[in-house]
Structure formats: structure tokens, C-alpha cells
Amino acid sequence: MGFRLTAEEAWADIAAAHTGVLATLRRDGRPVALPVWHVVLDERIYVRTPRWSKKVGRIAHDARGSFMVESGLAWAELRAVVLPVRAALVDGDLAARAVAAIDAKYADYVLPARDAAPSVRAAYADMAVIELAPDGDFRTWDNAALVGRG
């Protein structure tokens, strides 16, 4: 139901969203959906996570996943983008570029390291960068486009 967004609109919505939802697959095939902070660079989505996190292990086993952003409260405002993705760890210059973009986007929202418990600082000392590459077509809707239509 609703009207689809163009690819340009979908990428803009993903880039503008504060939080996305990344779904990865357990070994038994059940999905695990978790909120993540993210950035878009060159029509790829990047997230940062502790290297020890289970999502890194799930991606190593099965790179398939999906990424979603949504907005709106009332029915007439609901808008969302869902994108099937292939996930991979990246490093080097690409990872550095993604980290810089994530740091800039979320600078006003992070917990200063000095305020984190030592165990938290240690847990987040070794971070991985995950690239989410499109692996199919967007699924989108924009209910606002339906308002006033017959």
C-alpha cells in the first residue's frame, strides 16, 4: 500500500535517518533485528560495532541481511525504506572514511569516553566497520502520498 519512493528519495531517507534497523541471520535462519547508527557513502551503508559483537559473527557465517529506516507517527505520515543487503567487514581507508562520517553525524549524541565505565571503554576499544551493500530492490512506502487521493 502507498506510493513507492524513487531510489534517490530512498537513499536520502536512509542517509537522513538517525537510527536504522539492521537484520542479520542466526545459524538456524532466524533473523535478529537491532538498531544501529549508520552513514551512507556512495550508495553503501556503514555501521560501526564492537568486533566481538554477535552481529559480526552472524555476518561471517551469512552475509545476507536487511536494513530499514522509518518515520512518521500518524498513518498518513508513515514512510519507510527496506533494503536487502550483503554485509562485509571493511578496513583501511574505506573504514577510516566511514568512521569519520559516523563520528561527524553522531558527535552530539555519543557518551564521552571519560563518562563511560572502564569496562565499557574496554568493550568498545576494538571496533569493526560493516559495509552494507544493496542486494536487491528497495521496498518503500510513503503514506503521505495517499492523502487526498481517490
Q: What is the DSSP string of 71-100?
A: E-SSGGG-EEEEEEEEEEEE-HHHHHHHHH
Q: Are 80 and 140 in contact (CB under 8 A)?
A: yes
pTM: 0.93
Average pLDDT, the chain: 94
Q: Name the grid cell of 103.
A: 563520528
Q: Which amino acid is at 52?
A: W
What average pLDDT does this structure show over 41-56?
97
Cα 53 to Cα 119: distance, rounded to the nearest angstrom: 15
32-54: average pLDDT: 97
Given a cut of 60, is residue 24 above it in pLDDT? yes
User: What fold is seen in the domain 7-146?
Assistant: Pnp Oxidase; Chain A (2.30.110)
Residues 6+ apart with CB under 8 A from 50: 56, 123, 124, 126, 127, 128
The confidence score (pLDDT) of residue 114 equals 87
